Amino acid sequence: MKLNFQYIFLISLIISLSACNKSEYTGDPVGKIVDIDSILKGKSDKALAEVYADHGNYINSKESPSIINPSVVIDHLDNYLLIDIRDTDAYARGHINGAYNVPREDIIDFLTEKQNTAVYDKIVIICYSGQMASYVTGILRYAGFPKTFALRNGMAGWNADFAGILKNNYAKKYAQLVERGMPDEKTANLHEEAVDETAHADVLPTLENLPTSVLVMDRARKLLKQPRKEFLVKADEVMPELIKDPDKYFLMMYLNEKRFKEGHIKGSHLFQSRKDLSFETNLSSLPKDKPILVYCKTGHTGGHATAYLQMLGYDAYNLMFGKYAFDFDVFTQNIADYSEDYPYITGSDRTSYKAVTGSVPKAVKTKPAASNKPVMRKKKEVVSGGCG
């Protein structure tokens, strides 16, 4: 029975990583035909990055990162499985009607033992501001849950009543650590050079000596149990460290050249999103013996990248709110623009209407409470692809 369980998750992992990118992946995936037996019988120390590269290359696909906008979710409340990973007090103060309150360390058991995920179009992970949900979504994606998405900006994006976390963390500070433009050629670190794939076996981290099927699930469960500071750090926690010791972290800006020129932390290396982080590109240039600080624009894309790196065994951390934590110009950007005015309920009951707050769209006013057996409405919808 245990072996069958492992087979199910490995099959889910490989097929999902290839299937979810089949129509959007612009390259030519190596693993068009999945040979499950050869992978299970392969060497136990086979790099997990190689498995991901061979079967979908999700990290470099347009599907990555899997972020969904509140405007999409509000129209599909009875089609999506909503999982709120905030603490119970925060959930009671206000949550989306129908959302389950599940601690992130229990989320895999919840999805495999308590829910029939097949009846839902998507699984939406909800947190305070999208930061933690992006990381958790990344872990779940790499553990074989292909329909998982993070709600953009979390509850702060759902309703302005929860936007205080954005107001308190979007800032323009630590100016002594920020530089504009491109460094000179000697320190540019654009990672556009070709990488010798044969060298990867020696430079990638080595995880536990387990078969791939066991490693994936055990690794995911372990990472989801970590304290927040083990994967998500605040600017006020790491910037003072960088002022004292500029070499403490390998600084990885996971965006694009345009954003890099607009402003980055001094000494940062530019890794272009959906291009530079895979077995086939520049993964081998990352250090195994040094912590890696990942940041993007808002923290969503960085959360996905950090999840990928941690699944592979790197000591990686995502900077909460990304560039906006130290380079957000409040005089030219309005924080209110990042929040909607969608309804939420209070209390610990996931289907109670005792305190509906916010502007309720017409489509929601007559909608019944969320059901465990949602009515399926198949239609295409636009899902956002990251933080620019």
User: How confident is the model over 288-333, as pLDDT tens digits?
Assistant: 889 999 999 999 999 999 999 998 889 999 999 999 999 998 667 8
What is the distance between the alpha carbons of residues 316 and 250, in angstroms, rounded to a whole number? 9
Report, as an integer, the average pLDDT of 140-144. Answer: 87
Asked if residue 267 has pLDDT above 80, the reply is yes
Asked if residue 45 belongs to a domain, the reply is: no
What is the distance between the alpha carbons of residues 56 and 18, in angstroms, rounded to a whole number? 4
Given pLDDT bands bounded at 50, 70 and 90, which one contains residue 207? low
Given pLDDT bands bounded at 50, 70 and 90, which one contains residue 362? very low
Task: Report which secondary-structure segment, H or E, holds 298.
Answer: none
Given pLDDT bands bounded at 50, 70 and 90, which one contains residue 52? confident
Asked if residue 312 belongs to a domain, the reply is: yes
Asked if residue 15 has pLDDT above 70, the reply is no
Asked if residue 166 belongs to a domain, the reply is: no
pTM of the full structure: 0.78
The CATH number given to whatever domain includes residue 313 is 3.40.250.10
Asked if residue 293 belongs to a domain, the reply is: yes
Report, as an integer, the average pLDDT of 24-45. Answer: 35
Asked if residue 271 belongs to a domain, the reply is: yes
Domain that holds residue 282: 175-325
Q: Tokens 């790499």 belong to which residue?
A: 142
Given pLDDT bands bounded at 50, 70 and 90, which one contains residue 82? very high
Asked if residue 245 has pLDDT above 50, the reply is yes
What is the distance between the alpha carbons of residues 339 and 348, in angstroms, rounded to a whole number? 23
Number of domains comprising the chain: 1
Given pLDDT bands bounded at 50, 70 and 90, which one contains residue 209? low
To the nearest whole percent, how much of the chain has pLDDT over 90?
A: 49
Least Cα distance to 36 among 1, 9, 58, 60 occurs for 9
User: Residue 254's pLDDT is what?
Assistant: 95
User: Residue 334's pLDDT is what?
Assistant: 86
What is the distance between the alpha carbons of residues 298 and 291, in angstroms, rounded to a whole number? 21
User: Residue 27's pLDDT is what?
Assistant: 29
Q: Which of 27-36, 42-51, 110-119, 272-281 has the largest mean confidence?
A: 110-119
User: Greater confidence, 350 or 171?
Assistant: 171
User: Greater confidence, 116 or 193?
Assistant: 116
Asked if residue 95 belongs to a domain, the reply is: no
The region, left, alpha or beta by phi > 0 then psi within -120 to 50, assigned to residue 288 is alpha
